[in-house]
Amino acid sequence: MSGNSNAPRHAAPKQSRTRRMSAEAAAERKKKAEKPARRYSDAVPEKRHRFVEERTEKASQKICRPSPEKTERAAGSPPVREKKPDLKETTVQNARARRTRTSSDNRRTRTSAGHSPGASGKKNLEALKYIYTLIPALFLLFAVVLIVRGNSGGAGVQRHTADEIAEGVEYIRTLESTDITPVQETISSKETISEIESLENGDVSVWSQFSDAVVIGDSRAIGFSYYDLLPEERVLAHYGAYLYEIEDYYLDSLVQLNPKYVFIAIGINDIGNGVWATDEAFANAFGDVMDTIQAYLPNAVIACNSVLTCVEPALSDAAMWYEIPSFNEKLEIMCEERGYPYIDNSPLCEELSYLYEPDGIHVQYDFYEPWALNMIKGVVNFYE
């Protein structure tokens, strides 16, 4: 390209605007530099001079003296430190000073009021002497009053009081000798009647009265536990049970339970199978079993249930069921002779004959609650 003569020549670069402005700024700065600057001393010479004079005067007034420590240290002696005051000692001294001032003020006040230092103590001593002198006088006055009252008829009052005391003692002895059994029986009978009415109305559950009772018997008695009316341990019974099996099967369990009430309901198998020669023999054997239980449970109430009668078709199948009423009569006589409660279930069997099972011997579920209520009534009526 350098050999080409026709090539255009490069034009000189134009000066930029920035360069021009810089030139103008430089010219301006040069013009300002040539103008003398205004100084503070030229602007306010008087104020400047006054400020310098004040500072000079203050500096001349200060006297710089070396401290004692520096002087001693310069002389070569060790520095002496001031002893700090003991705070405890100062506090004690202040307290003593306050106490001294207070006591002096009090003395001054009492003196100004006309009191001597021992005036209050003397007054208290005089008051005690007066009280001690007055007490014997009061006792003497009280004794005189008693003597006067005794001479004016006190003996009659004493005799009257003694008579009243003697009469009261005699009345108490009369009450002690009075037999309260009729009153207790009346209260007990009223409470019992109220309980029986509550049971009959359904306000109180019949089964709640058997919480401390045991039922002993045969297949008919099993229904109390079979229908979950009583706990199984409270029903000592089995199918085909006989009277003489009670002592062998259930006496130990009965003693262990130690119930308050024992209801015996057994006899259908004894009568149906002709175990006893007569109804009287059956009743005597029944009584012997009750005596044995009573000997083991002396505080328990032993009750005898009459044997539940049978209905058709059982009566047509076996003639011995007709003899049940005769056996029950002997049981009632035995209980009266030996002093045991007898529960007559015959009216109940006639009233609820429709609640028998189809065999005419066993009873249904709805029969057991009226039967249990009849047991309670039998015991209550016996002790009324």
- Could you please report the per-residue DSSP string of 48-117? HHHHHHHHHHHHHH------HHHHHHHHTPPPPPPPPPPHHHHHHHHHHHHHHHHHHHHHHHHHHHT--T
87 contact partners, CB below 8 Å, separation of at least 6: none
Cβ distance 216 to 250 under 8 Å?
yes
Q: Per-residue pLDDT for 214 more than 80?
A: yes
Q: Is 6 helix (H, G, I), strand (E, B) or coil?
A: coil
Query: Which residue in 331, 263, 336, 328 sits closest to 297, CA to CA?
Result: 263
Q: How far is CA 154 from CA 136, 149, 151, 205, 351, in A?
A: 25, 6, 7, 67, 79
Please say whether the beta carbons of 109 and 103 come within 8 A: no
Top-confidence residue, 95 or 331: 331
d(CA 228, CA 231): 7
Give pLDDT tens digits for 169-204: 676 666 666 665 554 554 454 445 457 778 888 788
**What single letter denotes the amino acid at residue 65?**
R
User: How many helices (H) and strands (E) are present in the chain, helices listed first?
Assistant: 16, 5
Give the span between the Cα atoms of 333 and 151, in whole angstroms: 77
3-class SS of residue 217: strand
Q: What is the pLDDT of residues 71-101, one digit of tens each?
A: 555 455 555 555 555 555 666 566 666 666 6
Asked if 362 contacts 311 with a C-beta cutoff of 8 angstroms, the reply is no
Q: What residue type is assigned to position 283 of the chain?
A: A
**Over the stretch 277-311, which tens digit does the pLDDT of each residue have?**
999 999 999 999 999 999 999 999 999 999 999 99
189-383 adopts what CATH topology? Rossmann fold (3.40.50)
Confidence of residue 145 (pLDDT cuts 50, 70, 90): confident
Return the structure tokens found at 146.
Answer: 């008693």
Per-domain residue ranges for the chain? 120-178, 189-383
The more confidently predicted of residues 131 and 335 is 335
Q: Which value, in Å, is the radius of gyration of the alpha carbons in the chain?
A: 65
Give mean pLDDT, residues 340-350: 97
CA nearest to 99, candidates 107, 88, 110 = 107
C-alpha triplet 62, 66, 68: angle, nearest 5°: 135
The tokens describing 157, both together, are: 């009052």
